């Protein structure tokens, strides 16, 4: 990916050095344009070193060599154009077509639709009606405005104006640069294990980490879907830019949350490892260790996937099969029995790991083997098959 980064004179620009470094390490090709105010705070050499790239500033604005006109050539070069951090002054200039430095000249000449603006400033400057009006102008012209965070600011005050975490900025760049085969799809994804309470301190659960479902949610957002993620208990951070995140604990809570949202969705991916059994009675007090044996009567939980399959109509329904034996046989049987459009079969040892090795079965007989690979790339392969079903329907 070719990324052009415009850096303005905000104290938060020191954080952009880490952004530049991480983007370079990910294999992206970078170019940087700094304003005069930014140069007063940090040297061009620092960004050139961490980004292994050319850094331009006002001193280069009219260095025309062999037909290379800096502002026009730079404006045509990137796949994604990012201004970070963006001061109130630069935001105002871009909004009103003022081109009095190299960066604003590039902004005026750039006619791409993959452009990201990351404001950072004092909260009163950010909330000022003039700044908000300028940001709305830029939104209307196709800029993605990444809202600043709320927190302690460099000036010592507290409020909304803090430069967001670079992880968020990197994900926004990935979303901008990704194709959108799932555009307009409303997609529900479930993830993680469920906890079935025995008493106030003990549970029945499984080894699911939730990583597969969370990667599916992250990648689906990149591909243009509006994603609702319903998750059992995990230690994972909520994927950035999902439309809605719902945390549940038990199989019954998972069922209630899924069925409440089901009618609003175009597709559902049931990646959660929902418990098959739950205790008949939950002790209100901690069970004491008084005997050598403890018998806990269990009852079946509601089969969410089967329930959805009986009611799905024209919705796309995707399930997972986790087995220790006869994986392919059980997966194909489950797909038919539960009326699925697609099922992803993986062995039990993949649970909790960062990598997976799956077989994708579709109702039309197509079989695709993916992996071993990282779960992010496995998720992309699954979503590619989902996109094929979506665009066919």
Residue 151 and residue 91: Cα distance in Å, rounded? Answer: 21
Neighbours of 202 (CB within 10 A): 16
User: Which of 10, 53, 107, 155 is an active site residue?
Assistant: 155
Token pair for residue 178? 């990704």
In sequence order, which residues have a C-beta less than 8 Å from that of residue 15 and are 6 or more positions away? 85, 163, 166
The answer to whether the CB of 153 falls within 8 A of the CB of 127 is no
Residue 132 and residue 95: Cα distance in Å, rounded? Answer: 11
Residue 180 and residue 224: Cα distance in Å, rounded? Answer: 5
Residue 169: CA atoms inside 13 Å, Cβ hemisphere, count?
Answer: 28
Give per-residue burial for 70-101: e unless 16+ CB within 10 Å, then b: bbeebbebbebbbbbbbbbbbbbbbbeeeeeb
Neighbours of 243 (CB within 10 A): 13
Active site residue 10: no
The answer to whether the CB of 166 falls within 8 A of the CB of 18 is yes
Helical H segments across the chain, by residue range: 13-25, 36-41, 44-51, 70-76, 88-95, 102-109, 123-127, 129-140, 166-177, 211-222, 251-262, 304-309, 327-337, 375-392
Q: ∠ CA 165-169-175 to the nearest 5 degrees?
A: 145
Tell me how far apart the 2 most distant CA atoms of the chain are, in Å: 88
**Which sequence positions are flagged as catalytic?**
155
């Amino acid at each position: 990916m070719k990324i052009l980064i415009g850096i303005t004179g905000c104290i938060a620009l020191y954080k952009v050095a880490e952004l530049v470094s991480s983007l370079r390490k990910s294999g992206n090709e970078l170019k940087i344009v700094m304003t005069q105010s930014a140069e007063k705070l940090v040297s061009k050499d620092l960004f050139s070193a961490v980004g292994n790239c050319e850094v331009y500033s006002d001193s280069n604005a009219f260095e025309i060599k062999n037909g290379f006109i800096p502002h026009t050539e730079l404006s045509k070069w990137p796949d994604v154009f990012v201004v970070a951090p963006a001061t109130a002054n630069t935001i105002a200039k871009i909004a009103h077509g003022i081109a009095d430095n190299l960066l604003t000249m590039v902004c005026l000449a750039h006619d791409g639709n993959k452009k990201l603006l990351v404001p950072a400033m004092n909260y009163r400057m950010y909330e000022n009606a003039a700044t908000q009006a300028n940001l709305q102008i830029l939104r209307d012209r196709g800029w993605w405005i990444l809202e600043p965070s709320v927190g302690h600011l460099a000036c010592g005050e507290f409020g909304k104006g803090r430069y967001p975490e670079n992880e968020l900025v990197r994900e926004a760049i990935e979303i901008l640069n990704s194709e959108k085969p799932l555009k307009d799809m409303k997609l529900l994804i479930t993830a993680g294990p469920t906890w079935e309470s025995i008493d106030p301190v003990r549970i029945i659960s499984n080894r699911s980490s939730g990583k597969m479902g969370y990667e599916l949610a992250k990648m689906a957002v990149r591909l243009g879907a509006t994603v609702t993620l319903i998750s059992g208990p995990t230690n994972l951070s909520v994927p950035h830019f999902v439309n809605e995140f719902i945390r549940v604990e038990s199989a019954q809570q998972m069922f209630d949350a899924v069925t409440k949202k089901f009618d609003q969705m175009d597709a559902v991916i049931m990646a959660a490892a929902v418990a098959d059994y739950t205790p008949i009675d939950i002790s209100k007090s901690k069970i004491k260790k008084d005997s050598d044996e403890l018998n806990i009567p269990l009852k079946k939980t509601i089969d969410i996937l089967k329930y959805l399959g009986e009611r799905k109509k024209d919705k796309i329904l995707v399930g997972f099969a986790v087995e220790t034996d006869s994986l392919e046989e059980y997966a194909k049987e489950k797909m038919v029995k539960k009326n699925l459009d697609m099922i992803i079969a993986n062995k039990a040892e993949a649970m909790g790991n960062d990598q997976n090795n799956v077989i994708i079965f579709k109702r039309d007989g197509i079989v695709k083997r993916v992996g071993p690979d990282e779960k992010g790339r496995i998720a992309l392969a699954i979503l590619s098959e989902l996109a094929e079903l979506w665009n066919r329907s």
